[in-house]
Every structure is written in structure tokens, then in C-alpha cells.
Amino acid sequence: MEKQFETLKLSIEAGVGRLTLTNGAKGNPLGRAMGRELREAAIILDEARDLRVVILTAEGKNFCVGGDLDLFAAEDDLSSTVKTMTADYHSALSKLMRMDPPMVTAVQGACAGAGVALAALGDIVVAGAGSHYTIAYTAIGFSPDGASTYVLPRLIGVRRFQELALTNRRVAAEEAARIGLVTEVVDDDALTARVETLAAQLAAGPTRAFAATRRLLLSTFESSLETQLEWEARLLAEQCRTEDVKEGIQAVLGRRRAAFTGR
């Protein structure tokens, strides 16, 4: 299937979902339309059967420059507008974080504000060498949203997030990898190929085990040790009823590559 929105496009084919921000001429800013459309796209992805990986990319020279400042400046009732936008955008993020398939993100150029957390949602985030990251919210008097205060402290630590959120300094790609904001850095012209390779690798993996891993990681900072141990045991037992576990064990014993089906 393929669906074209105003600010993004979505396709699902052969178990691979491709979500692409398409307002590259403006830097893919987050506004009313993108929030609404991301929510709709996230529901489609969350409902898709046999989906094994999602690739998140953006057209243009910049991944996402953050909120649409032109829209904000033109609003007479900015508070109400922001509440509507965040209702849509936050719903989209919640579903993207809880869907079963892993997500691979490709980041190029500027990544700012809500775009930083959006990029960081990827289970694997590949950054172009020329990419750079700025939290940006407090530079215009905003406080963070878009799961920034949930996702980013878990990746880079509270102390580092405090510094970046308060100073709004620009983080280059190599530092972003060093502090854990992105997974790896590649040459800008190798970005697409690297993401495709990683996505193909994940798509050939044990999809349900990946889903269980994502679920466990969402709860790890809130759960007690005993609760987390119980969920680990329960989800592991669920995997043991899958075809993929049987195949994985037999593949190791037979010294061959496993042929996972995601079932």
C-alpha cells in the first residue's frame, strides 16, 4: 500500500514500512498538518500485519527543523493551537514507540526541537556526517515536548540533556554518536545505502522477539526489579511458542543461518 499526505508519505511493501517527511523545502517543520498526518500514519503502521521493519527518512537537506515558527507567529491563540498539535503529535509518538517492528532512522542536515526526539525514536539511528542537533525549545521560550524529556534523558542521561536543553548548543554528528543520541555516523552520500542494509537485516530477524525487546525497554526505568524480571520471563516464554525460536535453535545447532519468518 502507498498513501500520500500533504507533509509525508507512507508505503508498506514486503514487510517494510517507509515513512518519509516530504516538506523538505521548508525543512520538514512540525505544524498542524504534520502532527495530524503522523498520527494517521502511525495508526496504519501499528495496525499493519506482518510488518517487520519501519524506515523513517526525510526529503530535503534537513531532517526536521522543529516546530513551524511561521505558523506560531501567525497564531492569535497559540496556546490552543499547540494543544491541538501536541494531541495529534504525541498520539503518533506513543503508537510509534509501542508498535511491534523496530524502526531505523536516517538523519541528514539540521535536526532541531521536536525533530531530535522524533529521530531518536529509531531503534537504530544512522546520522549523516554533516548532520547536527539542537534541542532549541528554550531558545524561543518554549519548554520541551514531543517526548523529548522522556526519550532523550534515557539515551544521553539527565545531566547531558539539561545542558543541551538550557544552552541550545549545536551537537555535531560525531558528538551525537559519542553521547548516544545516534547509533552511528556515515558519510552523507552513504546514508541511504546504510539504512537500507540495516533495515533489510532487521526485516530478516525474529520480529516478535524484537517487539518484546521494545516493550521491555519502554518499562525498564519505571518498573521495580521484580516487575521487570516477571515481564522478562513472561515475554521470553511467549517467544518460546513461536516458530522463530524453533528455527533459531535448529539453525545454531545445524551451524547455518536462521531463516526467521516473524511468526
Instruction: Write down the domain spans for the chain.
Output: 2-203, 207-253
pLDDT of residue 100: 95
Cα 88–Cα 79–Cα 39 angle in degrees, nearest 5: 5
Q: Which CATH superfamily is domain 2-203 in?
A: 2-enoyl-CoA Hydratase; Chain A, domain 1 (3.90.226.10)
Residues 13, 53 contacting (CB under 8 angstroms) = no
**What is the topology classification, in CATH, of domain 207-253?**
Lyase 2-enoyl-coa Hydratase; Chain  A, domain 2 (1.10.12)
On average, the pLDDT of the chain sits at 95
Look at residue 71 in the predicted model and tell me its pLDDT. 87
Q: In whole angstroms, give the CA distance from residue 30 to residue 32.
A: 7
Contact present, 107 and 178 (Cβ < 8 Å): no
How confident is the model over 204-247, as pLDDT tens digits? 999 999 999 999 999 999 899 999 999 999 999 999 999 999 98
| Terminal-residue alpha carbon distance, the chain | 22
- Note the pLDDT of residue 200: 96
Q: Which amino acid is at 95?
A: K
Whether 116 and 148 have beta carbons less than 8 Å apart is answered as: yes
Q: What is the pLDDT of residues 153-203, one digit of tens each?
A: 999 999 999 999 999 999 999 999 999 999 999 999 999 999 999 999 999
Helix (H, G, I), strand (E, B) or coil at 106: strand
pLDDT the model gives residue 96: 97
Q: What is the pLDDT of residues 70-89, one digit of tens each?
A: 888 998 899 999 999 999 99
| Predicted local confidence at residue 75, as pLDDT | 86
| pLDDT digits 0-9 by tens, 28-57 | 999 999 999 999 999 999 999 999 999 999
What is the mean predicted confidence (pLDDT) over 144-152? 95
